[in-house]
Amino acid sequence: MAKYDPKTREKYWQDYWLKEGIYKFDPNSKKPLYSIDTPPPTVSGKLHLGHVFSYTQAEVFARYRRLAGFNVYYPFGMDDNGLPTERLVEQELKIKGSDLPRDEFVAKCNQLVGNYHQIYRDLWQSLGFSVDWSLLYSTISPEVQKLTQTNFIKMYQAGYIYRQNSPALWCSVCQTAVAQAEVEDKSFDSIFYDLFFRDLKGNQIVVATTRPELLPACVAVFVNPADSRYLSLIGTKIFTPLNIEVPVLTDSGVKIDKGSGVVMCCTYGDETDLAWIKQYSLPELIIIDSQGRFNDSCSLESMRGHTITEGRQIIVDYLKSKKLIGKDLPLVHDVGVHERCGHPIEIINTPQWFVRVLDIKDELISLGKKVNWFPAYMGDRFTTWVENLKWDWCISRDRFYGITIPAFFCADCREIIVSTDPRHTCPKCKSINLVAEKLIFDTWFTSGNTPEINGKYVPAPMSLRPQAHDIIRTWAFYTMVLSYYKTNNIPWTDAAISGHILLRQGEKISKRTGGGELRPEDEITKHSADAIRFAMCAAALGQDAYYDAKELENGKKLVIKLFNASNFCFKNLSGHRPKALDLNTLLPLDCWLLVKSYDVSSKMQKYFESYDYAHARNLLTEFFWGVFCDYYLEIIKKRVYDLPVDNPDKISAQTALFYGFNNMLIMASPFIPHITEEIFQSFYPDKIPNAPKSIHLSSWPKMDLPSDFSTLDIQVKSILEIVALLRAQKAKLGINIGAEIDTLSIFHPTLTATALASFEFDLLAVSRAKKLTLTKSDEIKVEIING
Ligand SMILES: [Zn+2]
Ligand SMILES: [Zn+2]
């Protein structure tokens, strides 16, 4: 047989699978349904190895379920609108969305997105993904737009969505409101400044802050009620360094030992400010506009029109000149930044649309407990996220490329009309002066509907949501929120959460960090799709893992070894006419090998059912390398080489090879689908009755183990141990492994002469001894006697 060349053969089989519709979903199938809510990748740049890691794991589950007899629904989607896509278009075309008429910008986005669809699809194809491409959806498609808008209208009418001009998290670089889930902590070098306030008697009161630029927005100061230093101040007023009078209030959240123990409350520095403004009914003083610049309400005129960073310097210089600022202490502290651009998030007042989530925290937590999370602790992450929510979900974005919010405002009476129909008149004042909402939806408000998008073909709840752990707080969470409001039920029964692939300690590969020089396309060309898939299944589900050269090597070696083993098996099966399997016709060793392959398949099945692909993979490789290749093939060589065609002992070994090897191919096929198909197709189709068109349409190997199997298992393990000791002994004595010896003396505590007799031919063959002796002994050992 020729050499196996993955470069040409992998592509060949991928085309074959497509052409033959091997993975086509059959809506009329009688098999139990298994539906996968595949993550639609955000179209925001080239896919990286992190995607390959996470998606390969889900792909392996799909293949396993198909073999296990399920009607597998495995679609793909593209999440191709919203801020990430806009940023991609802006970067690639070197334009700015805000500088172009919206239609023009959207047209450019559509075009670029089309190119990326092809790039993404090509990558998944080249990894051999068993996706039914006819189920492909795009979140910017008219169909999905309509579904999203309809859901919005229904939820608004039910009171689950509201519009409010209220403080919202805001990115002044991306010029849009963002949701809590899009904010991440980043360490910044900062300075803790002492600002000099004074009380009504003129005494200096020090207030420490990292944000002196918010001083013009200070509406109160807070102290801890138990702080004895300030008892006389509580309830009075003090003057800020800008000579504005503010009240001194108390809150037990103020840390006595931090700074001077007096803190500013500004509109808005952070979420604490926001809570205090509400709780103590304080006034708002908004000094920063949506561009992130100081507006005309800022009492220090020289700051107006400047950015936040500039404003900070201006006010620090000003206070220094007035000697109203004391020591500055450098410190590193965490600031909430926008995950897309890394720029600090502000809180500003804008009219936005919100989905109520704070009201339904308990319901979401109990819904989360109904989902089977794999690994289980990922369910706790979901719960913790929900418990710590501080904001309702802001679903509006001040951007261009996305689904428009179907709402109008009456120019005459300010009534809000939620509808997709632009021909409305105002229901309140009958005016026809309606102004359309300019905001678009947060993409999660669309991609949170994937179970419903897939609902065109399969019912909810779907069987599986596979996704990475960093989007539990977004995609998983938003899907749960929408599912709760739409169906009051879970969106999927199982959630399998993958980790990240890492390059160096702690550095995940993502679109932002890149992944260095390692492009998935190049890696596939270099190592083969099968080797990469194998390597990606090394780490346990949910665990972050390194992109490991050793695992890639192991994958390549497995492919070669399988191919070579198949050459050996098929050569020795030529002329063999397989019959229906009857274990009673087999020699004990052959019977054991074959039954053992079913035993391994049943154990793998248990692992697969809890989404533990890594243990399943390792069981298979241990059996293939450690039992089948290292022992079984070596031991039976002589029987299949030397005995005549019709010798039952030869036929026994051939039968075990014929069925056992096919079992191993099927068990390996979810991980390495190309080489297993290659080997299967080169031999099996015309030898199995009703052979499937592809190994991937086979059935998972299943057999009830014979009741006396454990006795046989113990015997064969003894035999294998004897072979191992024999090899070690030969090596120790410097005897060539294939060299003949006179006597193999076996010492064993339990092995009987009768049991040994049924393995005698094989033991003599593998040891190249002329005779065997057996002695009862507490210790297992072998001795080689020559002459
Ligand atoms: Zn941003
Ligand atoms: Zn009106």
Tell me the β-bridge partners of 691: none
Q: How far apart are the first and last CA of the chain?
A: 43
Nearest ligand (C-alpha, residue 435): 2
CA atoms within 13 A on the CB side of 624: 26
Residue 733 CA to residue 786 CA, distance in Å, equals 11
Tokens of 746: 């076996």
How close is the Cα of 416 to the center of ligand 2, in Å? 8
How close is the Cα of 87 to the center of ligand 1, in Å? 10
Say whether the peptide bond before residue 459 is cis (omega within 30 degrees of 0): no
Nearest ligand (C-alpha, residue 178): 1
How buried is residue 304: exposed, middle or buried, by Cβ count under 10 Å (0-12/13-18/19+)? middle
How close is the Cα of 344 to the center of ligand 1, in Å? 8
Tell me the β-bridge partners of 501: 545
How close is the Cα of 347 to the center of ligand 2, in Å? 31
How close is the Cα of 512 to the center of ligand 1, in Å? 13
Looking at the domain that runs over 31-152+450-536, which CATH code has it been given? 3.40.50.620
Pairing of strands 372-374, 545-546: unpaired
Instruction: Give the pLDDT score at 508.
Output: 64
Residue 278 CA to residue 391 CA, distance in Å, equals 13
Pairing of strands 741-748, 781-785: antiparallel
- Which of these, 77, 90, 85, 79, lies nearest to 37 by C-alpha position? 77
How close is the Cα of 706 to the center of ligand 2, in Å? 80
Alpha helices, DSSP H, located in 372-514: 377-387, 443-447, 450-453, 477-487
How close is the Cα of 274 to the center of ligand 1, in Å? 21
Q: What is the DSSP letter of 626?
A: I
- What backbone phi and psi angles, to 5 degrees, belong to 420? -90, -10
How close is the Cα of 184 to the center of ligand 2, in Å? 41
How close is the Cα of 417 to the center of ligand 2, in Å? 9
Instruction: Give the pLDDT score at 300.
Output: 95
Q: What is the DSSP letter of 537?
A: T
- CATH class, 548-706 region: mainly alpha
How close is the Cα of 437 to the center of ligand 2, in Å? 15
Only one residue has tokens 């209030």, namely 249
How close is the Cα of 415 to the center of ligand 2, in Å? 5
How close is the Cα of 459 to the center of ligand 1, in Å? 37
Nearest ligand (C-alpha, residue 174): 1
Please report, as a single letter, which amino acid is at residue 293: R
How close is the Cα of 161 to the center of ligand 2, in Å? 21
Nearest ligand (C-alpha, residue 343): 1
- Which of these, 45, 10, 61, 24, lies nearest to 494 by C-alpha position? 61
Residue 287 CA to residue 307 CA, distance in Å, equals 11
Q: Provide the sign of the torsion angle of the four alpha carbons 65, 66, 71, 77, taken in this order.
A: positive
Cβ density class 487-522: b for 16+ within 10 Å, e for less: eeebbbebbbbbbbbbbeeeebbbbeeebeebbbee
CATH superfamily of 185-334: Valyl/Leucyl/Isoleucyl-tRNA synthetase, editing domain (3.90.740.10)
Say whether the peptide bond before residue 598 is cis (omega within 30 degrees of 0): no
Residue 406 CA to residue 448 CA, distance in Å, equals 18
Tokens of 46: 């080239």
Tokens of 777: 């002994």
- Which of these, 717, 721, 776, 783, lies nearest to 750 by C-alpha position? 776
User: Where in the chain are all domains bearing CATH 3.40.50.620?
Assistant: 31-152+450-536
Nearest ligand (C-alpha, residue 337): 1
Pairing of strands 183-199, 393-394: unpaired
Instruction: Give the pLDDT score at 339.
Output: 87
Q: What is the DSSP letter of 275?
A: H
User: Where in the chain are all domains bearing CATH 3.90.740.10?
Assistant: 185-334
Residue 200 CA to residue 246 CA, distance in Å, equals 11
Instruction: Give the pLDDT score at 375.
Output: 97
Residue 48 CA to residue 502 CA, distance in Å, equals 11
Find the angle CA(667)-CA(672)-CA(677) to the nearest 5 degrees. 80
Say whether the peptide bond before residue 461 is cis (omega within 30 degrees of 0): yes
Residue 715 CA to residue 749 CA, distance in Å, equals 12
How close is the Cα of 151 to the center of ligand 2, in Å? 24
Nearest ligand (C-alpha, residue 183): 1
Residue 78 CA to residue 74 CA, distance in Å, equals 14
H, E, C per residue of 564-622: HHHHHHHHHCCCCCCCCCCHHHCCHHHHHHHHHHHHHHHHHHHHHHCCCHHHHHHHHHH
Residue 169 CA to residue 176 CA, distance in Å, equals 9
User: Where in the chain are all domains bearing CATH 3.30.2320?
Assistant: 710-785
Mean pLDDT in each 10-residue stretch from start to end of the chain (787 residues)? 89 98 97 97 87 94 98 95 87 90 90 91 96 95 96 97 90 86 88 93 93 96 95 94 95 91 92 88 89 92 94 95 89 88 89 96 98 97 95 92 94 92 86 92 95 96 96 96 97 96 66 65 95 95 89 96 97 90 94 98 98 97 97 95 93 97 98 98 93 97 94 96 96 93 96 94 94 95 91
Residue 611 CA to residue 62 CA, distance in Å, equals 11
Q: What is the DSSP letter of 774?
A: E
Residue 516 CA to residue 513 CA, distance in Å, equals 8
Nearest ligand (C-alpha, residue 340): 1
Q: What is the DSSP letter of 284?
A: P
How close is the Cα of 345 to the center of ligand 1, in Å? 8
Indicate the helix (H) or strand (E) that contains 209: strand 204-209
How close is the Cα of 159 to the center of ligand 2, in Å? 20
How close is the Cα of 593 to the center of ligand 2, in Å? 81
- CATH class, 710-785 region: alpha beta
Q: Which residues contact 96 (CB under 8 A, 6 or more apart)?
A: 90
Residue 698 CA to residue 675 CA, distance in Å, equals 15
CB atoms within 10 A of CB 727: 17
Indicate the helix (H) or strand (E) that contains 54: helix 49-67
Residue 281 CA to residue 278 CA, distance in Å, equals 5
Please provide the DSSP assignment of 420-434 as one string: S-TT---TTT----E
Alpha helices, DSSP H, located in 80-127: 83-93, 102-126
CB atoms within 10 A of CB 408: 19
How close is the Cα of 445 to the center of ligand 2, in Å? 28
How close is the Cα of 407 to the center of ligand 2, in Å? 13
Please report, as a single letter, which amino acid is at residue 509: I
How close is the Cα of 435 to the center of ligand 2, in Å? 11
